[in-house]
Amino acid sequence: PVVVALNKVDLVDDERLDALAAELRGYVALERAPVLAVSALHRRGLDALREQCVAELHGRCVTEPISAGTDAGDAPVPGGRGLVLDYRTGRTHGRCFHVLLRHGAVREGDYFVCGLTHGRVRVLRNNQGGRGDGISPGDAVHVACVFKGALSESPVGEPFLLLTAEEAEGLVEERAAAIDLERARIVSQCVGDESEDNGEEPEGGRCRCVIKTDSANALATVLDALADDYPHVEVVMARIGDVNKTDLEYAAGNGASVYCFETKDGSAVRELARHMGVRIHRYSTLQGLIDSLAGTAAGSKNSRVQ
């Protein structure tokens, strides 16, 4: 969900505010977003902003009660869990989840599972940047991790499970096996399909694509916009990170193109894409990516291709 707050409204008149709101709604991702006028200096509109944020989250948040994860004797119950709010990589802390702890406890050195990724918690930091000592259920914490698997799908909204090392590895293996079976089924259908379109627009005006972005929030923004307003765009895979061989294989098997936001790829990947006949579209803005997909699905040929 998105809520737009226009700050410093004490410096402009109502006509200017209306024009700004109209301009913002020209962006696909903000077409349905509420736009509120606030002034942090004069504390104007902050209560309305808070209420609007709560209203937007109503019905979308996790309904599981927050608990300390203790038994009758107040001993910690193994297997803490949380909800991933965001994920990003950086030079300072490396790979880092932003997690809302819902149950139990999280400590440095714990093992975790998120989707097909498992690994070890390296460093905990609170929202103020300090070391995350004393984290309790209901707190949000930045979790820097050492990975033992690839983070393929957007983890936002996914469970963050704390297990033993053996349990974590076993759970990921089970999930990967199930996905491999489904992937083999899809590829088999594509190979046997005599109506393969070789990357051209599929029948019925649908546009097939693989989406790659640099962060979980960017990926979620694209997927939300496409799901709400462009049902004719079929996303066959959506992942975080740079384009790789698996992305190209999936795109080729599904007659799709790859659409990227702020990602990189090497010469080997570009050469493989040319060999496989897969088009890679690169964009520096999310709006450009969304608009291009929408235009391609509608028959427009104005998207930029690398």
Instruction: Look at residue 74 and tell me whether its pLDDT is greater than 60.
Output: no
Residue 59 is encoded by which pair of tokens? 């019905």
- Are 256 and 279 in contact by the 8 Å Cβ rule? The answer is no
Average model confidence (pLDDT) across the chain: 77
Measuring CA to CA, which residue among 83, 89, 133, 88 is closest to residue 112? 83
pLDDT of residue 259: 93
pTM score: 0.47
pLDDT tens string 48-63: 998 888 887 765 554 5
End-to-end Cα, the chain, rounded Å: 32
pLDDT tens string 218-236: 888 888 888 777 777 888 8
pLDDT of residue 7: 93
Task: Determine the Cα–Cα distance for residues 48 and 69; give it in Å rounded to an integer.
Answer: 35
Apex 273 CA angle, 250 and 212, nearest 5: 55
pLDDT top residue among 190 and 254 = 254
Q: Which range has the top average pLDDT, 34-48, 178-192, 245-259?
A: 34-48
Q: What Cα–Cα distance (Å) separates residue 97 from each residue in 6, 83, 125, 259? A: 28, 10, 10, 24
Percent of the chain with pLDDT over 90: 10
Question: What burial class does residue 213 get, using C-beta atoms within 10 Å of its C-beta: 0-12 exposed, 13-18 middle, 19+ buried?
Answer: buried
Average pLDDT over residues 261-285: 86
**Which residues on adjacent β-strands are paired with residue 84?**
99
- Are 28 and 286 in contact by the 8 Å Cβ rule? The answer is no
Q: Which range has the top average pLDDT, 49-58, 191-200, 297-306?
A: 49-58
